């Protein structure tokens, strides 16, 4: 039995709890949330014996083996280190950090402890992207270009459920991280990166529009457009232009460039990327191995983000 504490019982935390229900021999022991009422309600719904507003309370428990962090971005690195120092395996939602120094500190602590430390780079696990990855690995296709649109309407500081956020989201350190890591996962290490950003929101203080260009060592290129000003449809849409076909991925769904649906039923045991991400975390713990999207594997993404931030601030 793998015993889990989940910190951050908001929209994304619930997605993890729903995915964990489908994994054998997993027990949800503790729910940590910003408010006591939410922590109690979610614990009751998912059968957790403990709930609190303090992560330290869960870390002090002997019946917690691992922690999943779905807390605000600014807390990720520090909380990940705290979990590792407490002897707990940890999966932290994307992004790992919002500064490279913090990411490097997490990697150093993971290497010191030898525990499983994984980052929720969900695109590696979505069956749509895994289908492409498997074909690239098999030598059936070669990626020439990724064209990606990440579009939301975030002129107010609300989460996916329309509730007020306790933190501010970020196009570069959060949403671009998905694509930067995925592009390297599909095309190889990134050797060139450039970025532009539009006007900053007068209250949120963040750029609301951004454009990023990437090139991999395999000569594939990526064009990424991001916006918090887009009034629908929402989400991230990936066009894979390859030497032997074109595909469009929309989260867990995949179609050809001619909008012909691809059957993904045989790609993995589930068609839910979050569940597959959690399955990898649990399997890595049980097998004593490095997971896909470990801190060490994804840190190159954050090095690219750091370079882009310096370019934008320069």
CA distance linking residue 291 with residue 282, whole number of Å: 9
DSSP-assigned states of every residue in 168-226: ---IIIIIIHHHHHHHHHHH--EEEEEEEE-PBPTTT-SBSEEEEEEEETTS-EEEEEE
Mean pLDDT confidence for 184-207: 93
Tokens encoding 9: 């019982």
Residue pair 181/119 in contact by the 8 Å Cβ criterion: no
Question: 27: helix, coil or strand?
Answer: strand
The Cα-based distances of 166 to 8, 11, 158 in angstroms read 11, 13, 9
CA distance linking residue 113 with residue 310, whole number of Å: 31
Residue ranges of alpha helices (H) inside 95-174 are 100-113, 127-137
pTM: 0.93
CA distance linking residue 137 with residue 41, whole number of Å: 44
Mean pLDDT confidence for 244-268: 94
Interval 70-80: pLDDT, tens? 999 999 999 99
Q: How far is CA 160 from the centre of its chain?
A: 15
DSSP label at residue 232: S
Helix (H) or strand (E) holding 271: none
Q: What is the pLDDT of residue 160?
A: 64
pLDDT band with cut points at 50, 70 and 90 for residue 155: confident
Residue pair 109/46 in contact by the 8 Å Cβ criterion: no
Mean pLDDT confidence for 37-45: 97
Give the least confident one: 52-56, 198-202, 277-281: 198-202
Residue ranges of alpha helices (H) inside 47-75 are 55-59
Helix, strand, coil shares of the chain as percentages rounded to 5? Answer: 40, 30, 35
Q: Over 70: is that where the pLDDT of 1 sits?
A: yes
* Nearest one of 41, 36, 53 to 17, comparing CA atoms: 41
**Rg (alpha carbons) of the chain, rounded to whole number:** 19
154-11-170 Cα angle (round to 5) = 35
Q: What is the pLDDT of residue 153?
A: 87
- Give burial (CB, 10 Å; 0-12/13-18/19+) of 203: exposed
Interval 60-99: pLDDT, tens? 999 999 999 999 999 999 999 999 999 999 999 999 999 9
Q: Over 80: is that where the pLDDT of 163 sits?
A: no
* Nearest one of 150, 173, 11 to 100, comparing CA atoms: 173
Domains of the chain from N-terminus onward = 2-121 (3.40.50.720), 126-267 (3.30.360.10)
Q: What is the pLDDT of residue 202?
A: 86
Q: What is the pLDDT of residue 159?
A: 66
Q: Over 90: is that where the pLDDT of 284 sits?
A: yes
* Nearest one of 125, 138, 127, 148 to 254, comparing CA atoms: 127
pLDDT band with cut points at 50, 70 and 90 for residue 170: confident
Percent of the chain with pLDDT over 90: 88
pLDDT band with cut points at 50, 70 and 90 for residue 212: very high
CA distance linking residue 113 with residue 99, whole number of Å: 22
CA distance linking residue 5 with residue 189, whole number of Å: 34
The mean pLDDT value of the chain amounts to 95
Interval 20-30: pLDDT, tens? 999 999 999 99
Mean pLDDT confidence for 171-198: 97
């Amino acid at each position: 039995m793998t015993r889990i504490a989940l910190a951050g019982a908001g929209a994304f935390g619930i997605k993890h709890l729903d995915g964990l229900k489908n994994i054998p021999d997993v027990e949800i022991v503790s729910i940590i949330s910003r408010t006591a009422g939410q922590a109690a309600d979610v614990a009751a719904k998912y059968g957790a014996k403990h709930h609190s507003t303090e992560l330290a309370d869960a870390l002090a428990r002997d019946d917690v083996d691992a922690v999943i962090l779905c807390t605000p971005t600014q807390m990720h690195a520090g909380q990940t280190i705290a979990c590792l120092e407490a002897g707990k395996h940890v999966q932290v939602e994307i992004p790992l950090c919002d500064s490279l120094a913090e990411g490097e500190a997490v990697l150093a602590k993971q290497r010191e402890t030898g525990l499983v430390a994984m980052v929720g780079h969900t695109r590696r696990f979505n069956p749509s992207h895994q289908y492409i990855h498997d074909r690239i690995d098999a030598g059936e296709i070669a990626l020439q270009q990724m064209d990606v649109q990440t579009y939301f309407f975030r002129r107010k500081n609300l989460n996916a459920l329309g509730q007020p956020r306790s933190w501010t989201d970020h196009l570069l350190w959060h949403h671009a991280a998905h694509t930067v890591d995925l592009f390297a996962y599909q095309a190889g290490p990134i050797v060139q990166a450039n970025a532009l950003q539009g006007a900053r929101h007068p209250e949120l203080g963040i750029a609301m529009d951004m454009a990023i260009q990437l090139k991999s060592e395999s000569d594939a290129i990526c064009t990424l457009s991001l916006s918090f000003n887009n009034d629908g449809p929402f989400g991230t849409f990936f066009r894979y232009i390859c030497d032997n076909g074109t595909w469009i991925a929309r989260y867990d769904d995949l179609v050809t460039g001619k909008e012909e649906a691809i059957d993904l039923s045989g790609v993995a045991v589930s068609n839910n990327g979050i569940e597959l991400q959690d399955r990898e975390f649990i399997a890595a713990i049980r097998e004593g191995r490095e997971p896909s999207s470990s801190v060490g594997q994804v840190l190159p993404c954050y090095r690219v983000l750091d370079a882009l931030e310096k370019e934008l601030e320069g």
